Amino acid sequence: MNYEKQLRHIIKAEDRVGVSGKLSYSLGFAGKDTIMTVVNNFLMPFLMMVAGLNPAFIGTMMLLARVWDAVNDPIIGTLADHTHSKWGKYRPYFIFSSIPMAIIFAALMFVPNFGNSGKQVYYTIVYILWGMCFTVVEVPYFGMIPAMSSDPFERASITAWSRIVSRIPAIGLPIIVGLLTNVSREQMEGDPAGAVAIQQNGYFKVALLCGGLVIVTSVISFFGCKEKAVSMEPAAKKAHGFRSFAEILKGNYALLMVMLVQLFFVFNTILCDMLNVNYVMYYLKSPALLGGIIVAAVAFGCIIGQILFPYVLGVVGSGKHIMVVGTLIYVVLLGLNYIAGTISVPVFMAVLIICNAFTGALQICVVNMCFEVCDMVEWKTGERADATIFAIVSFLMKLAAGLAATIAGWGLSLAGFSGGMGPWMGEVTPRMANALAIIRFAIPAGLAFIAFIMAIFYPIGKEQNINIQKALEEKRNTKTYLKEE
């Protein structure tokens, strides 16, 4: 009997989520991820080439913003876990936090008429505010999945749906960015100020488009999702913030391992994403429009892996096993992708799609492992702490982004790149281009290998997960559990 059938044997059919619920959740998740697509793939080149900031400063700014996240994220997570309203725990955050995030994101993609020091202060403040707003949006979305179903396979299915749907705009959006910001080499050399103005307007229009999508899709999620899973009533005066975070982390070896897997794997993928546009312009010597197409190809590859993941999980039965084997294959594919870039653009794109099919599947696998940890915490303590755990995950994702930006920024700076440098090829020496390629491929391969080592030590395997599900099902049938509508 495979993994799915074993869990179906002990999980009630009423925990299944219909197509409308999955789609409603996925649209909201996709809305917020349109902003993350722009931030991960285009914020670095925007701040560097359009706003004129030094890449070393950009990397340092993004890393320092993560210091505040270490304070902010656990508080937001425990706040969501202990929210009680007539709309539920997590649904209110969908609407009430999306509007501020949309406004702040528009400010982030705007170039003020300040000097260099003024811009540094402006973007530091706005970037920190954006990170706070994004946490308030993202953490409830992650916490919502266990509230929709207690079935592990169904959670994997919801997660796959959300990632697949979120990748659909991620295919079209980068092409739109490329079209709105694309300028020729002749434009950059003949009228630099006019070319930069085109890019400024293009990025701001993209920000307005993404902000509108976030607001509309969050409304759809609010009305289309239901918090129907059963869970134990939390203690009335449960500790918030760092105390709750410390209680969950204390002695939680599984959470520690999945945190490390999350950190290093996300670190590696975001570093790749941040440098794709730079790699296209400076190493492949192609225009910005191709950068958008490359980013779209990344999203397409991820969709393939995310469609396949639930089926692979049903057969293999162990997220740990998928992560261990998948990361090793992914490391090999990164090496092949580097070689493909020295051959031709079509070969590079073909290998890139295959490589990111593994990225997409492994991204869902890490989230699924986090759900397993949430179940284990409920099994041991009698209380769910999904938002608190996923606040940790959100912080790790942003920490990984900060570290990736630091390596990318300082690496580009040491290689000779500078703020305001346009994509005309005369400014880039072969040494600079090769350094960019090394940062783009060698460092992510090393980080993925570390994630592979951490996954080996992750303690929740197939049998333990099934036993936890059996124990939880028995507990949920007792009088101490209340049903949340």
How far apart CA 78 and CA 80 sit, in angstroms, is 5
Residue 5 lies in a domain: no
Instruction: Mean pLDDT check: name the lowest of 167-176, 200-209, 385-394.
Output: 385-394
Q: What is the mean pLDDT of residues 255-284?
A: 84
Predicted confidence band of residue 318 (pLDDT cuts 50, 70, 90): confident
Residue 230 lies in a domain: no
Write down the mean pLDDT value for the chain.
Answer: 81
pLDDT of residue 112: 92
Residue 336 lies in a domain: yes
Predicted confidence band of residue 233 (pLDDT cuts 50, 70, 90): very low
pLDDT exceeds cutoff 90 at 405: no
If one compares 84 and 366, the residue with the highest pLDDT of the two is 366
Predicted confidence band of residue 423 (pLDDT cuts 50, 70, 90): very low
Q: Across-strand partners of 230?
A: 483
Predicted confidence band of residue 185 (pLDDT cuts 50, 70, 90): low
pLDDT of residue 90: 84
pLDDT exceeds cutoff 60 at 316: yes
Residue 4 lies in a domain: no
Residue 467 lies in a domain: yes
Sign of CA dihedral 158, 160, 166, 169: negative
What ranges in 283-385 are assigned the alpha helix state H? Answer: 288-316, 319-341, 345-381
Whole-model pTM: value is 0.69
Q: Tokens 């925007």 map to which residue? A: 46
Residue 232 lies in a domain: no
pLDDT exceeds cutoff 70 at 179: yes
pLDDT exceeds cutoff 50 at 231: no
Q: Of 181-185, 218-222, 312-316, give the range with the top mean pLDDT.
A: 218-222
Q: What is the mean pLDDT of residues 332-353?
A: 91
Gyration radius of the chain over CA positions: 22
pLDDT exceeds cutoff 50 at 213: yes
pLDDT of residue 220: 93
pLDDT of residue 467: 84
pLDDT of residue 186: 66
Cβ-based neighbour number of residue 70 at 10 Å: 12
pLDDT exceeds cutoff 70 at 311: yes
Task: Give the DSSP per-residue string, 404-421.
Answer: HHHHHHHHHHHHT--TT-
Residue 2 lies in a domain: no
CA angle, 421 then 424 then 427, to 5°? 65
Nearest CA to 329 among 365, 299, 300?
A: 365
Please report, for the domain that includes residue 30, its CATH number: 1.20.1250.20
If one compares 479 and 352, the residue with the highest pLDDT of the two is 352
* Per-residue pLDDT tens over the stretch 59-94: 888 888 877 776 666 677 777 777 777 788 888 888
pLDDT of residue 184: 63
pLDDT > 70: percent of the chain: 83
Q: What is the mean pLDDT of residues 405-426?
A: 70
> For the chain, how many residues are written?
485
pLDDT of residue 122: 96
Query: How many structural domains comprise the chain?
Result: 1
Residue 1 lies in a domain: no
pLDDT exceeds cutoff 90 at 335: yes
> Whole domain around residue 160: which residue ranges?
18-224+245-483
How far apart CA 447 and CA 330 sit, in angstroms, is 11
pLDDT exceeds cutoff 90 at 193: no
pLDDT of residue 103: 94
Residues 105 and 96 sit within 8 Å (Cβ to Cβ)? no
Amino acid at 61: M
pLDDT exceeds cutoff 60 at 236: no
Amino acid at 365: C
